Amino acid sequence: MILYSILQKGITILLMNLDNSTTVETEVALRKNLWHKNMSDDSKEMKLNFLSGTERAREEYHLTPHDGNIHSQIMALNGNILTVNSNGEIPSLQPIYVNPSNPIVVAPFSIVFAHIPDAVVTACK
C-alpha cells in the first residue's frame, strides 16, 4: 500500500467529522491555479497547479464505525466491513470514484481520504 501512495500523482485530502448527527459537504476548487497562504507567514503564498484538460475522477475512501456506533470495534470502508481473511490478510482497499465537480460528503463520525489525481504540487515532486 505504501508503494501505491508513492507512485500516485496528485494530492490526498483528509477530512474528519466528529459530530454525531451532522453530515458535512465540502467542495474542492479544481481551478487551473489555487493559491494557499502559509499560516505562519502571511507574505508567502504557494501556487498549486492543476493539470489542464479533462479532470479524472476523484478517489474517495470513507471510513465509518459499523452501524454508526462510535464505540463499535468494527469499521467499514465505503460501506464494506473491514475484516481480515482466514490467512490474516487485509482486503483490497477499493475507492469510490466520484466526479471531481461533486462535493465531498462527510458523514457523522467518519473519516474521508479524498485523492485528487490532477493536482500538481511542486513541493511534493
What DSSP line would sit under 64-88, residue for residue?
EEGGG-TT-S-EEETTEE----TTS
Which pLDDT value is given to residue 94? Answer: 92
Which pLDDT value is given to residue 56? Answer: 78
Which pLDDT value is given to residue 119? Answer: 76
Give every residue of the chain whose pLDDT is below 50, as ranges: 1-3, 33-53
Which pLDDT value is given to residue 79? Answer: 93
Which pLDDT value is given to residue 122? Answer: 66
Which pLDDT value is given to residue 7? Answer: 61
Which pLDDT value is given to residue 106? Answer: 96
Which pLDDT value is given to residue 68? Answer: 85
> For residue range 73-93, what is the model confidence (pLDDT) as tens digits?
999 999 999 999 999 998 889
CA distance 75 to 81: 6
| Buried/exposed 8-31: b ≥16 CB within 10 Å, e otherwise | eebbeeebebeeeeeebeeebeee
CA distance 97 to 57: 6
This prediction's pTM: 0.72
